[in-house]
Amino acid sequence: MSIDSDLKWQSNIDLVYSRLLKSTGIFHKLRCYLKVNVLRLLYFAFVHSQISYGIEAYASTCHARLNKLCVLNNKISRILQNKPPRTPVVQLYQSYNTLPIPTLHHFQLLCLVFKYLNHNKKLPTIFANFFTRTLDLLMISIYPVLILYVESDVLSLKPAFCGMIWRHN
């Protein structure tokens, strides 16, 4: 994982992008020789694992920075599934039973909150001050664009404007 000085995560996104770009040509050649289930395993071993690692942090950047990684992920999915370029993205993700990068980011954050609420002793101690709790409200500041709320066992994501955090009254 690569972290830049102003936490825009561009260097990490570029690193993941370059790693995935190198394997795109190989996947293109292999798709003719391997079975569908083996190609799916290749996707999860070499693509999904790269994208998932640290997604809770780096995918909190703006969508414009993530776009090239999302486009490349869609391209690799089309290649491995041997689908034409106009295949809807939803169909690609459904057939591999996975999620687009922004949705995967939200899912991983919700998993982290679930672990905090139900198994917080199993989390690393670094997360002790990551969450703030007041009454029935749990707020997680996801720099710079989202706030994750848990109110009365309901999880929701809300946009954060100019660093503003909603307060529970």
pLDDT in tens, 54-102: 888 888 888 888 999 999 999 999 999 999 999 999 999 999 988 898 8
Helix (H) or strand (E) holding 78: helix 63-81
Q: Does residue 163 have a pLDDT over 80?
A: no
Residue 79 and residue 29: Cα distance in Å, rounded?
9
Q: What's the pTM?
A: 0.71
Phi (first) and psi of residue 106, to 5 degrees: -65, -40
* More confident call, 112 vs 40: 40
132 pLDDT above the threshold of 60 = no
103-118: per-residue pLDDT in tens?
888 888 878 777 777 7
